[in-house]
Amino acid sequence: MTTNPRTHRSTRNGTDRHAQNGTDGHVQHGSALLTTPFGSHARAQEVIDSVDLTGRRAVVTGGASGLGAETVRALATAGAEVTIATRRPQSAEPLVQELAAVAGAGRVHAEALDLSDTASVDAFTRTWSGPLDILVANAGIMALPTRTLTPGGWEMQLATNHLGHFALATGLHTALRDAGSARIVVVSSGAHLGAPFDFEDPHFARRPYDPWAAYGQSKSADILFTVGARRWAADRITANALNPGYILTRLQRHVDDDTMRAFGVMDDQGNVKPLPYYKTPEQGAATSVLLAASPLLEGVTGRYFEDNQEARTVRDREDQPGGVAAHALDPEAADRLWEYSTDALHTA
């Protein structure tokens, strides 16, 4: 679940691998939007079927559980060597052991990374050696109930969801360039629709703190980063963002019971269960895996996807589900955010 009670749910709930956009396994270019043959509830293993990632190297942040773990499973079973970047590497040990027993799977290991701590990000990037083919910026936090700052004075959701990943990607730029054809995948959210990036007060120093506004702003920043990454096109690095849809994972750990009831996923007794249109973690990870590994996305950059398709642009809050806000695709805002983020890291 990556949006808030104020947003609409997706109504594209088909599970057929061959959606309305064609069945030949190729991207269809009949419209301005890039489409694929995978339905909204396709599983991660489906979208990567027959793809061989042997010899490729990937980093998945927050890869010990939820969507991240399913992303790791899909990439590793396709042959990729995967580094799980997580605050507590020991929490990834069950997944590491599971995949070590899978015939043909690439090596999986875990390394420490705290995205809210610039020293931790610096340590991770300094010790990385060799090329990097895939970076999946999956880790995130949502709707912290009170304004929380990092030691450097950054609002925690912006620090974790965007600034930490920005520092990670820029710190690994040489490794991504050296891969010869690298992909960055950024997990965003439909919550970005109502929350443009506030350049005047990004850390809620003056405006009243709102958990969902802070979360949504960080997710707009995620998308703007992929637009700004067009400056790396000459290095053959692509970057795309996505909304995984509605899924119950540890992402909701900071959401109070009343809000969970407003979502309709908690009953009066406190029992949590998904609604019919919700996805499983493996289904939610499918779009991440599609962008990370499918040949259908070769050379595609600076776009936003949901339900395994490129999303339409929404210029106002329309009474329709889904889409990507124009403010999140604005190249001028993307360049301004890139400069802001670079300066923030230099002064941290």
d(Cα 32, Cα 329) in Å, to the nearest integer?
A: 15
Per the structure block, which two tokens stand in for 97?
């052991």
Distance CA 208, CA 131 (A): 43
> Residue 27: which of 245, 303, 228 has the closest Cα?
303
User: How many Å apart are CA 42 and CA 282, to the nearest integer?
Assistant: 8
User: Looking only at Cα atoms, what is the longest distance across the chain?
Assistant: 55
CA distances to 183, 230, 245, 295 from 298, rounded to whole Å, are 9, 15, 23, 5
The CA-to-CA distance between both ends of the chain, in Å, stands at: 32
Q: Which residues are catalytic?
A: 215
Beta-bridge partner residues of 86: 112
Structure tokens at 119: 């020293």
Say how far apart CA 125 and CA 321 lie, in whole Å. Answer: 38
Q: Dump strand ranges (E) for 41-181.
A: 57-61, 81-86, 108-112, 134-137
**Residue 229 in tokens:** 């990454």
User: Residue 322 — left, alpha, or beta (φ > 0 → left; ψ -120 to 50 → alpha)?
Assistant: left
Q: What tokens does 53 get? A: 């990632």
Q: CB atoms < 10 A from the CB of 31, how many?
A: 10
CB 257 within 8 A of CB 266: yes
Angle at 109 between CA 105 and CA 113, to 5 degrees: 140
Which residue, chain included where needed, has tokens 């990507």?
324
